[in-house]
Structure 1
């Protein structure tokens, strides 16, 4: 009788332990999928914003600069930046620690690139822009787009590490 009771207790304990392990595995899989989804949303918004910045830079590099095309492209910026901001905040909520900082790097670099491009567009709208000011604006545009690209690449590396860790 005691043996049966002990065996039953051990079986119940083992079953409960197995259920806990299974529940944890399902929780980890769910978290990994949620993170993957929000990381993809951030990278999609970042990519669209980068495409917009590159398209705007191309319009401004034309001889003469295509200010109408630049203005059309700039008209799309608020919506894309809104999506980028929402995606960055969502990444911050889903974590892990450090995710918000990296997502914020993407967001701030995209905002800086578009500010630099807007300033260049405004400068090119002047009949006779100062050559030194124009060179400085073009350098700022180049540097800010490169920063935006570096931030996106850094986030991809970070996300890969997090998702690989979540698999284990």
Structure 2
């Protein structure tokens, strides 16, 4: 029982840190967005995956936490571990060919994301479990709301543009 309590306490602390990172971005303008999707044999699973919101002075990366339920937020850009080697090793090439890999896509070319470009974050509404763990946030922007939720080991993003910004 002590181990479970420690794990829950750790998740709550991580959630507080995550919340502080994104609350620190209130007043910042969205300069770009990337989604990290799984690619296998040329097929892209674009339903779920981490979200990176870029600002003039940095980025915020959202992902599902290790327990599959909590939201993990960091103030760093996503780095593709398979691109760390140039050229990629034969082992890494073989792995990617057999299993696929996560890949970052600039999504501001997509109409649903483009309408949030240059939006200013005005507020952050946390979503928490009954025991206080952060599972998601709603980012309120001048262009509409972005819901970012950890669900079943995946990060799910739902966009609700302000009526005047709908395409």
TM over 0.5: no
- Structure 1 or 2: larger strand share? 2
TM-score (norm 2): 0.32
TM-score (norm 1): 0.32
More helix by share: 1
